[in-house]
Amino acid sequence: MSMQTDVKSAAAAAGTTTTIFDGSARIKGIVINYASGGTLDINDGTGGRTAFSFVGPAAIGSVSILVPGEGIKCHVNVSAVCGAGTTAVVFYG
């Protein structure tokens, strides 16, 4: 029997730290838009353990990531840290 949860999303603006969800959740997918060398870290807790990290190549771009299995578990909260020129939409459940 598989785990079933509602999937929600929240956006993170460039150059900010955004609490995507304040509580325990699993990251299901991410859409990242970035300028040259853009960065995104998703932490388990604001300033906590890095659960996911992305560094874009030296070109403007966009990437969609579907996290396999049950997703990436964040126990405290889901916090996205976007570098300058990077935005993200994080899907969680």
Residue 15 lies in a domain: yes
With respect to residue 18, please indicate whether it lies within any of the assigned structural domains: yes
**Domain around 41:** 8-92
Give the number of domains in the chain: 1
- 20-56 CB burial, b ≥16 within 10 A, e <16: bbeeebbbbbbebbbbeebbbbbbbeeeeeebbebeb
Asked if residue 17 is part of any domain, the answer here is: yes
Average pLDDT over residues 77-87: 97
**pLDDT tens digits for range 16-51:** 999 999 999 999 999 999 998 899 999 999 989 999
Residue 15: its pLDDT value, please?
97
Give pLDDT tens digits for 60-79: 999 999 999 999 999 999 99
For residues 52-60, give the mean pLDDT: 94
pTM assigned to the model? 0.92
CATH number at residue 47: 2.60.120
DSSP assignment of the chain equals -------EEEEE-TT-EEEEESS-EEEEEEEEEESTT-EEEEEETTTTEEEEEEE--SS-EEEEEEPPTT-EEESS-EEEEEPTTEEEEEEE-
Does 2 fall in a domain? no
Task: Report if residue 32 sits inside a domain.
Answer: yes
> pLDDT: is 6 or 10 the higher one?
10
80 is a domain residue: yes
Does some domain include residue 1? no
Q: Decide if 3 is inside a domain.
A: no
